[in-house]
Amino acid sequence: MRATVLGMGVVAPGAAGCAALGRALGEPSPAMPRVAAIGDEGESRARRAPRLERMMAAAAREALGGRDAASVALVYGTGYGGLTATVDFLEGMAVRGPAFASPMSFHQSVHNSPAGALSIALGIRGACLTVTARELSGETALKVGLDLLASHRAEQVLVVAADEVVPALEAGYRAFGSRLIPGEGAAAVLLGAASAGGAGDAGGAVGPSLVVELCALDGHVGSLLRLQASPEALSPLLDLAARVAGPEPWVSPAPGDDAFRSAQRLALERAFPRARIADDGGRFGFNPSGGLLRLVSLALRLGSGPGGAGVIHGAAQGGGQAVIVVRHVAG
């Protein structure tokens, strides 16, 4: 299923909004992939909302750019959900006992709670789905959005992916001996059928010239807490992307440890010997929503360059993979 990108939004480390991210792409990545500014600081309602919901709402509003969202379908992807609320709830249980567990923290810790809050805030009355697929949650949400369009369950789909980092998550990475640096942020893309009209005044929009041509995923095949470190295992999905994207795309590699990056480099060189590399792993960190964040980043690069195609490679611990192909075509 090919789909037109009608609008984009992003809240990323060092960049709140697509314009800010576009400027930041030419600068060094932040020292740590953490979001310092969300861009909604002037909204009174934002002060009462959980941080994760604030990030996804800011990205979603930018992607919609003032469009009426009533008939839009929403697909929300998250790997970890509302970690701040989850930690608050579990710590309350552990320290004070079940009688003192916070109902509000429990409600906000449920993975699909942010999607419900966002649909109410935006007035969405179409399908509302939550997707969680570990470190491929952004890519899986995009695939579900494309499937909704292909099955004519929706004419437009707002795909949002968001995750946050809390000290407990960092401690968990260290406890299992991982050297990966967890990242956070939110991204949103508004999708329509490939024949859809222009993006109008949608914020962050790149118009009908940007299309998603492929979103493919491969299942987990290895050790639960390890990334796939074999070029032969990485190559089939990358070869599929190469057949769609052509010989000289922009390529956004998946972040990972040294062993994975070495295997990925060999597989990328075989599939894309003349690719231009857009390595945003340091900016976004190892983030379950990172696939959608890197899609927005690569789309911004395509929008300001000579055109062509872009490939986003995603990877999850356990061996799962994903590829997304986008193309900047003449309007």
182 and 222 fall within a common domain: no
State which H helix or E strand residue 194 sits in.
none
**Structure confidence at residue 199 (pLDDT):** 42
Residue with tokens 């000289």: 248
48 and 125 fall within a common domain: yes
**Structure confidence at residue 313 (pLDDT):** 97
| Cα separation, 13 vs 20, whole angstroms | 10
Instruction: Let me know if residue 261 belongs to a domain.
Output: yes
| Cα separation, 102 vs 92, whole angstroms | 7
**Structure confidence at residue 262 (pLDDT):** 96
Give the type of residue at 96. R
Structural domain range at position 297: 209-328
**What is 174-209 written as a DSSP string?**
HHTT----B--EEEEEEEEETT----TT-TT--GGG
**Structure confidence at residue 99 (pLDDT):** 76
Q: How many structural domains comprise the chain? A: 2
Give the chain's residues under pLDDT 70: 42-47, 195-208, 220-223, 304-307, 330-331
Q: Are 77 and 47 in contact (CB under 8 A)?
A: no
Instruction: Let me know if residue 201 belongs to a domain.
Output: no
User: Helix (H, G, I), strand (E, B), or coil: what is residue 59?
Assistant: helix
**Structure confidence at residue 98 (pLDDT):** 81
Instruction: Let me know if residue 58 belongs to a domain.
Output: yes
Instruction: Let me know if residue 160 belongs to a domain.
Output: yes
Quickly count: other Cβ atoms within 10 Å of residue 112's Cβ. Answer: 15
Instruction: Let me know if residue 198 belongs to a domain.
Output: no
| Cα separation, 49 vs 84, whole angstroms | 12
**Structure confidence at residue 119 (pLDDT):** 95
118 and 240 fall within a common domain: no
Structure tokens at 93: 């249980």
Q: Are 326 and 309 in contact (CB under 8 A)?
A: yes
**Structure confidence at residue 44 (pLDDT):** 62
**Structure confidence at residue 130 (pLDDT):** 97
Q: What is the pLDDT of residues 183-213, one digit of tens each?
A: 999 999 999 987 654 443 445 545 447 899 9
**Structure confidence at residue 48 (pLDDT):** 75
Give the domain CATH number at 20: 3.40.47.10
